[in-house]
């Protein structure tokens, strides 16, 4: 216990207390400002934090005509990086589901023209 491991998780956190292995609302992103308060994310934030490996993410910019333009966002050096994340284990009647959410925050100056939020990108340190 307490060791690190590389695993595949379902994106869209399902709280351990949920009656069903799905939720009625989106749980793919947890806001950094409230992740420690919201019942859906609170327990995972306290004890089940994780790194979510990535080489980039897609963000959609709303255009003046109502359409959306996708942008792929990655590091300038194109190296992989990690998002801050949380994970949870849901279990009922022998069915097990391990799921996660990405922690998001307010956009930095580079992202603001595209979207007002962005994933928390962790430094290698």
Long-range contacts of 94-98 (CB under 8 A, 24+ apart): 95/21, 97/10, 97/14, 97/21, 98/7, 98/9, 98/10
10-54+80-122 CATH: 3.90.1680.10
Q: In this predicted model, what pLDDT tens digit does every residue of 80-115 receive, in sequence order?
A: 999 999 999 999 999 999 999 999 999 999 999 999
CA distance 117 to 69: 16
pTM of the full predicted structure?
0.90
Domain boundaries defined on the chain: 10-54+80-122
Q: In this predicted model, what pLDDT tens digit does every residue of 13-56 receive, in sequence order?
A: 999 999 988 877 789 999 999 999 999 999 999 999 999 999 99
């Amino acid at each position: 216990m307490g060791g690190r491991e590389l695993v595949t998780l379902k994106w869209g956190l399902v709280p351990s207390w949920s009656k069903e292995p799905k939720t009625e609302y989106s749980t793919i992103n947890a806001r950094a400002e409230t992740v420690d308060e919201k019942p859906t994310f609170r327990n995972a934030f306290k004890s089940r934090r994780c790194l979510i490996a990535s080489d980039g993410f897609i963000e959609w910019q709303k255009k003046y005509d109502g359409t959306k333009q996708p942008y792929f966002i990655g590091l300038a050096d194109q190296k992989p990086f990690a998002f801050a994340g949380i994970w949870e284990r849901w279990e009922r009647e022998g069915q097990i589901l391990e799921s996660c959410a990405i922690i998001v925050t307010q956009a930095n100056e580079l992202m603001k023209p595209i979207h007002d939020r962005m994933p928390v990108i962790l430094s290698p340190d």
